[in-house]
Structures are given as C-alpha cells and as structure tokens.
Amino acid sequence: MPSQHPPSTVTPSAAPSMSDALNKLWTKFLPEIQNRLALMEAAAKSSAAGQLTEEQRSAGHAAAHKMAGTLGTFGLHRGTELARQVEHALEDPAVLPTADLPALTNELRAVIHSRG
C-alpha cells in the first residue's frame, strides 16, 4: 500500500508572493537607481549645454547601461528602452541629438517614480 503524505501546511497566503519579493528588491536597489539616474541627468544637462566632459560621458554611459538591465528586472520595459537610448547617445553622440538627452532622462525619472 503506497504511503500517504499529510497535506501541505503551507498556505498560499503564508508564502511570499513574487510581487512582494520584487517590491523588497525595488526598495533595496532604489537608492542605487536614483544615483545612476542622477549621473545620467548630469551628463544630459552638460551635453545639452555643450559642456560634457569625458568623465561625465563615461559615468553617464555606464549608469545608463546598468540602469537598462536593472529596470527590465522590475518590469519597467519603457525605462529599459529610455536608458538604452541614453546609453547609445552617450556612447556615440551621432546617434541622438544631445538636446534630446534631458527629455529622455526626464521621462526616465517619471517611469522610475511610477514604480514607487
């Protein structure tokens, strides 16, 4: 006779949901996300003013690259697209007029804040 196992004592409400786990990760990574956004915004502002230094360009590019991957993890696909556009613009200014960078970073800020 096959052995019978008692029913599981874990109820669905006792197990953390994927949404809860993502919210905890979001809270943990939000300061880093905001720091990366600040680097991108500084590069965008300097670029639009024609005063972008190599250090700012490099820092903004790296921040945008990391941001693109991070935001995808949290389902912010529009944010990923925007970060990639900033990344490519800072990698090769011929890709996008530098005057467009502040608008991209403003929209990116709005996407991030929409996640809360």
Cα dihedral: 79, 84, 90, 93 (round 10): -110
In 1-116, at which residue ranges do the beta strands (DSSP E only) sit? none
Burial zone of 83 (CB within 10 Å; 0-12 exposed, 13-18 middle, 19+ buried): buried
* pLDDT tens by residue, 36-46: 999 999 999 99
Q: Which residue has the higher pLDDT, 73 or 106?
A: 106
Confidence band for 100, pLDDT divided at 50, 70 and 90: confident
> What average pLDDT does this structure show over 77-103?
86
List of long-range contacts for 87-96, beta carbons under 8 Å, 24+ apart = 87/61, 89/47, 90/43, 90/47, 90/57, 90/60, 90/61, 90/64, 91/61, 93/47
* pLDDT tens by residue, 25-64: 999 999 999 999 999 999 999 988 889 899 999 999 999 9
